[in-house]
Amino acid sequence: MSDYNRQVLTGVLAGAGAGALIASAAATGGGTIVVASVVGGTSGGVIASMIRPHHCYFVNRRGELWQIPCEHMPAVAQACFYGAGPGLLDPIDCKAVRGRHTV
């Protein structure tokens, strides 16, 4: 499972748990708790899906931007970046990143 999918699943579970907890404290009846946990899970999943994890990117000789795992920075990279996606990238030193497992 990718980090992004794990993040969304965690958001769904946390939202459902929070919704059920609030509903159980505020009201009586199983139907209210189920509805609150569904609404909370949906809300948690939507919020978690908007938060993008950070990745490493590199630009090859043809000028293409590629997302890659940070521990596999290629030797042919012309430029390297770290961030959540195009438009949200910070330049990094390619040589400093190569061979490291974290940025």
Per-residue pLDDT of the chain (103 residues; tens, 9 = 90+): 666 677 788 888 888 888 877 777 776 666 777 888 888 888 877 777 766 667 788 888 888 888 887 777 788 788 888 887 777 888 888 877 655 544 4
Q: What is the pTM of this model?
A: 0.47
- The Cα 100–Cα 24 span in angstroms is 47
Distance, in Å, from the CA atom of 39 to the CA atom of 61, rounded to the nearest integer, reads: 48
Stretch (H or E) spanning 58: strand 55-59
The token duo for 44 is 């948690």
